[in-house]
Homo-oligomer: A and B are copies of this chain.
Amino acid sequence: MTSSASDRPAGLRERKKAKTRAAVQRHALRLFGEQGYAATTVDQIAAAAEISPSTFFRYFPSKEATVVYDELDPVLMRAAKAQPPELSATAALRATLREVFGGLSPEAWERERERQLLVFNEPELRAAVMEQYVAGIQLLADVAAERAGRSPDDFEVRNWAGAVVGVLMSAFLSSGGSEVADHMQLLDDAFAHLEAGLPL
């Protein structure tokens, strides 16, 4: 590689690939919504997107991946790292969520909501998304560790990350398909409750 391919206008090739990828995902989500996840075959998705089934698997490693892929993860990471260091781990997290989700376009929100609705109702997908949450433990632990000047393997750091992810999971499960603003408020309340030691 003589020059990084991560910038510049991007050749026709790259643009076409991005477009195909987006089209596949769009048709997949549409078909899942219309017929249900299990009832939709990869062949149908490929046909709708006008590619061969072989090509489908070149763009997505699995049928699940069309739903599970989360474009927000890197954005969240960057926002988290940019929080002022004097904030506590939980406070920084709350600020990050407010920042990223607050700055989301209405269409992005709508897509996100549809995705969640789908994932919520299909057991297979729920399992896949939970894997993402588990990966999230690691990510959160990394960020919190750096902020606190501790190791990501530190017991308390990992414990914090686990509890946070648990709270997120629970919030996600409770609010099957509720309103957006409510959801933000709910998360904020949840973290406040967590910081208070979860009194019942």
Contact = CB atoms under 8 A, between A and B. Distances in A.
A159 B155 contact: no
A148 B199 CA distance: 11
Given A158-B174, A162-B169, A130 B134 contact: yes
Contacts of A127: 127-128, 130-131
Contacts of A46: none
Query: Interface size for chain A: under 10, 10 to 19, 20 to 34, or 35 or more residues?
Result: 35 or more
Contact of A193 (B126, B156, B164, B174): B156
Of A153, A161, A169, most B-chain CB atoms within 10 Å? A169
B195 A144 contact: no
Contacts of A164: 166
A47 interface: no
Nearest to A154: B200
30 contacts: A88-B200, A123-B131, A127-B130, A144-B200, A148-B200, A155-B189, A156-B193, A156-B198, A156-B199, A157-B200, A158-B170, A158-B174, A159-B167, A159-B170, A159-B190, A159-B198, A160-B200, A161-B170, A162-B166, A162-B167, A162-B168, A162-B171, A163-B163, A163-B198, A164-B166, A165-B169, A166-B167, A166-B169, A195-B197, A195-B198
- Sorted nearest first, the 6 A-B pairs with minimum C-beta distance are A166-B166, A162-B170, A130-B130, A197-B197, A127-B127, A162-B166
Given A134-B173, A163-B163, A166-B169, 19 more contacts: A89-B200, A126-B134, A130-B133, A148-B200, A150-B200, A155-B174, A155-B189, A158-B170, A159-B171, A159-B190, A161-B170, A162-B166, A162-B168, A162-B171, A162-B173, A163-B170, A163-B198, A165-B169, A194-B197
